[in-house]
């Protein structure tokens, strides 16, 4: 039994880390799309939801979440928070740029670790706090100097995206759903509805995409959102909260590395030091968490 449990845990780790690397490439595709950020956010989650819904229906599966009102509500609410997180983050990109937005969004996992002892009764040791301090220091170094003239709207959007991320993970872990595909389909559909309602309520304009936008939109929606979210949500509910919080920084780090390789955005010496701190801090926290699990 122990071996089979370890195998399942290993698969969940692999799926989770793969999803983070997929999400890390989002910025490359967003850069290639000449549409407003709110429209990119809507198309991204809509294509992801439709692609996974087709797969779900093609396998002749039936929705079972409605049989448990508690599970459905938690999954739906988690999906709504996903929609909020995406649209707030994309708006923050527009207001204050990708670097500062990512710095603010990186506070989401920190918030998750802070609320975990209260919500999930997990043990937060001094070593793990120290590891998180190293990660945050790395995030600051990777982003470099922060412009003090930033507008308050962008800062609030970045913080709102981080808060939405934290709530999304917390709500999702309260739902016990065996079918990861069904969970992801429902979450993406709820995220789509949430973003659509926000766009309609605020009167944000929509544009017809150009021919050059089609391919990156398909990759961003079907590949990055559809496949990425399936791997993410089907694994994150089965992993320890500490693992989700610490390893999530791999997404941020991979985004920086991908931008350097594909967009030729060169990193400074300080940013490379920050990258090492992010990886080192995440690994340190995970080692501490693994020892706690083995001792329990």
Is 5 inside a domain boundary?
A: no
Instruction: Give me the numbers of helices (H) and strands (E) for the chain, helices first please.
Output: 14, 0
Is 2 inside a domain boundary?
A: no
Is 219 inside a domain boundary?
A: yes
Q: Is 183 exposed, middle or buried (0-12, 13-18, 19+ CB in 10 A)?
A: buried
Per-residue model confidence (pLDDT) at position 67: 65
Structure tokens at 143: 């982003």
**How many domains is the chain built from?**
1
- Contact indicator for 39, 207 with CB cutoff of 8 Å: yes
- Classify the C-alpha dihedral 272-275-281-284 as positive or negative: negative
Is 6 inside a domain boundary?
A: no
Residue with tokens 């229906």: 57
pLDDT in tens, the chain (296 residues): 555 667 788 889 999 999 999 988 887 888 888 899 889 999 999 999 999 899 888 886 777 766 678 888 999 999 999 999 999 988 887 787 766 777 778 778 778 877 888 887 777 778 878 888 888 888 778 766 555 555 788 888 988 999 999 999 999 888 877 777 888 899 999 999 999 999 999 898 899 999 999 999 999 999 998 899 889 888 887 888 777 877 887 887 887 788 778 877 666 787 788 878 877 887 787 777 667 666 66
- Contact indicator for 102, 252 with CB cutoff of 8 Å: yes
How many Cβ atoms from other residues are within 10 Å of residue 296's Cβ? Answer: 6
Name which of 168, 180, 179 is nearest 226 in CA terms. 180
Range of the domain at 159: 14-295
């Amino acid at each position: 039994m122990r071996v089979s449990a370890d195998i399942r845990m290993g698969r969940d780790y692999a799926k989770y880390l793969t999803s983070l690397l997929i999400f890390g490439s989002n910025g490359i595709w967003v850069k290639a799309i000449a549409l407003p950020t709110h429209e990119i956010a809507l198309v991204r989650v809509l294509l992801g939801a439709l692609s996974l819904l087709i797969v779900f229906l093609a396998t002749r599966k039936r929705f079972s979440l409605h049989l448990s009102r508690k599970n459905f509500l938690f999954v739906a609410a988690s999906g709504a928070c996903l929609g909020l997180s995406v649209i707030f983050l994309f708006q923050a990109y527009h207001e204050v740029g990708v670097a500062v937005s990512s710095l603010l969004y990186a506070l989401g996992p920190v918030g998750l670790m802070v609320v975990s002892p209260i919500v999930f009764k997990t043990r937060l040791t001094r070593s793990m706090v120290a590891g998180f301090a190293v990660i945050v220091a790395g995030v600051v170094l990777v982003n470099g100097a922060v412009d003090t003239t930033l507008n308050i709207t962008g800062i609030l959007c970045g913080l709102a995206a981080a808060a939405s991320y934290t709530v999304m993970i917390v709500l999702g872990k309260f739902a016990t759903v065996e079918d990861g595909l069904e969970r992801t389909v429902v979450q993406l559909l709820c995220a789509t509805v949430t973003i659509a309602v926000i766009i309609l309520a605020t009167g944000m304009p929509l544009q017809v995409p150009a021919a050059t936008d089609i391919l990156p939109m398909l990759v961003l929606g079907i590949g990055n959102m559809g496949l990425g979210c399936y791997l993410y949500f089907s694994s994150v509910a089965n992993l320890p909260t500490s693992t989700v919080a610490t390893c999530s920084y791999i997404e941020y780090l991979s985004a920086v590395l991908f931008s350097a390789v594909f967009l030729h955005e060169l990193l400074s010496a300080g940013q490379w030091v920050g990258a090492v701190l992010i990886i080192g801090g995440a690994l340190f926290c995970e080692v501490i968490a693994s020892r706690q699990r083995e001792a329990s």
